[in-house]
Structure 1
Amino acid sequence: MSSEVPAEPARQVVHVPADEGIALWVPEEPPADLVDGEGPPMSSYTFMATAELTGGSLSVVNTVVPPGNGPPTHLHVDADESFYVLEGAFEVTSGGKTFVINPGDYAFIPRGTHHIWKNITDKPARMIRIYTPGGMEKFFTAISRPAKPGEPAPRLTNEDVQRAVEVATQHYGEPPAA
């Protein structure tokens, strides 16, 4: 019998300048009547910290969300999610509560809890989201398109929605809740 404890992933000091990170254009909840080329602009997610950089501890994503955008109702079985609002306002529904988070506000959603959030302003809103443990960047990389610096986010297409549903089904075993 061995008494060796498995080694933890390597941890190191991390510094990611503001113009770096993994930049993605992410599909959010589609309108019922989505027409390619006329969908809402995609949200911009920039992962500033990843599981790889933090030894698995967390993932941090700078999130810019166009007016009215946000994901469909969903849950994360593998991570807790925290929100810290920098600009704008988001309505959050989770755990039988609906509330608004404004600049400087913080919210925590434990793993396994259904939730939904939406930008309720008429301008892009921004928040920092933290996933513990890390790794959520793999899911978002799979459902998104790589962002192109200096270009505006593209409009949501049916292909984007189909890709997101397929990846969510593979990742979580069922499509996102309606």
Structure 2
Amino acid sequence: MSEDRFILLDAGASRPTSIPLPPGTTAKAGAADTDGRFTLVENHDGDALPHVHTFDEIVYVLDGELGVEFDGATHRLTEGMCAFLPRGVTHAVRRLSDAPTHALQLCTPGGWDGHHEDVAPYGTRYGVDGEITENGDKSRFYVLAKGEARPGRLRVPPAFSSKVRSTDTEDRLSLLEMVVAQEIPRHVHHKADESIYVLDGELLVEFADRVHPVTPGQFVLLPHGVRHALRPGSTPPPRVLQISSPGGWECFVEDLIEARSRITTGGRFDARKLNPIAAKYDITYEEPS
């Protein structure tokens, strides 16, 4: 059943893995959880030699300072910054000081848990003994400052900041940093799974007629095909990272912003007005009887 795919992990908890993870690393979602579209791990004090992946890697800094070495330059990443590291191109992620670091590592397609073991262990080749063969596109690399978003069809409020668009990942996923300032009414994603990592505040997640408070460091995966709702449980409202897999949520947000005056009643989303737009993205909102 789709409900069985629901995941709610406490801060610091890890999904079971078939291979050992490095110390200080926890698995939030593996390739088996996401139909191979992505994996998500949380790292403390990560430090890596130059290497090449068979998957794209997104690094989002939660706390501390990381140096991303790419194409002869070192990019300094601090809290709230992220980098997109394309597959097939040499890079390294290092601590820049002795201070602790804390980051999320998103891989697409799923990589670290053996999804690509037919290519190389962990889908990774290290440059310890010489040159690394590169076959990637360096132009796909980018770094986003805190609060910065990927450009889209139109400019949206900072509360909906696209860090990775579906066009960046061949539609496998999109990643948004969002502030959930109002209730998102009950709805069903017919194709896309929705995953959320809470950065600040408390998010109330209604799933299968139960309400789950989700607080900083907790992770939840909401499988497609099951009704759910979201609403703020704190003041100020919660700030989260939201992964849509397959991607497309960022395009839906753009359509909502563009049509906002036509899809709200009394300042709140109106399901009857919302559904004609949502249908384009295989989403159905529950309309009042």
| Bucket of the pairwise TM-score, normalised by the shorter protein | 0.5 to 0.7
Structure 2 residues without counterparts, runs of 5 or longer: 1-55, 57-84, 87-140, 265-269
What is the TM-score when the length of structure 1 is the normalising length?
0.67
Counterpart code for 2:219:
Y
* 1:47 maps to which of 162, 175, 178: 162
Alignment size in residue pairs: 139
Long gaps (5+) in structure 1: 1-10, 26-42, 147-155
Equivalence map 1:29-108=2 (5 Å): 44-66=159-181, 69-108=182-221
Deviation of residue 170 (structure 1)? 4.6
Match runs of 1:129-140 below 5 Å? 129-140=242-253
Q: Give, in angstroms, the shift of residue 114 of structure 1.
A: 0.6
Secondary structure of 1:143's counterpart equals helix
Give the CA deviation at 1:132: 1.1
Deviates further, 136-145 or 51-60:
136-145
User: Where do 4+ consecutive residues of structure 1 move more than 4 Å?
Assistant: none
User: Residue 38 of structure 1 corresponds to which residue in structure 2?
Assistant: none
Tell me how far 1:173 sits from its aligned partner. Answer: 7.8
What is the one-letter code of the residue matched to 2:175?
V
* CA pair 58-172 structure 1, distance change in 2 beyond 3 A: closer
Call closer, same or farther: CA 1:65–1:143 in 2, change over 3 Å: same
Equivalent residue of 1:166, what SS? Answer: helix
Aligned amino acid, residue 178 of structure 2: T
CA distance in 2 between counterparts of 1:134 and 1:16 reads 20
Distance in 2 separating the partners of 1:136 and 1:173: 10
Q: How does 1:114-129 map to 2 (within 5 A)?
A: 114-129=227-242
- Could you tell me how far apart the structure 2 residues matched to 1:55 and 1:166 are? 26
Q: Distance in 2 between matches of 1:166 and 1:143?
A: 11
Larger strand fraction of residues: 2
Equivalent residues of 1:70, 1:117 under 8 A apart: yes
Larger radius of gyration: 2
- In structure 2, the partner of 1:164 is 274
1:141: Cα distance to partner?
1.7
With CA pairs under 8 Å and 6+ residues apart, which has the higher RCO, 1 or 2? 1
Q: 1:16–1:48: 8 Å Cα contact kept in structure 2?
A: no
Q: 1:173 to 1:112 in 2, by over 3 A?
A: closer
Aligned CA-pair RMSD = 2.7
Q: 1:54 and 1:16, CA in 2 relative to 1: closer, same or farther beyond 3 A?
A: farther
Indicate conservation of the 8 Å contact 2:248/2:281, yes or no.
Answer: no
SS of residue matched to 1:144: helix
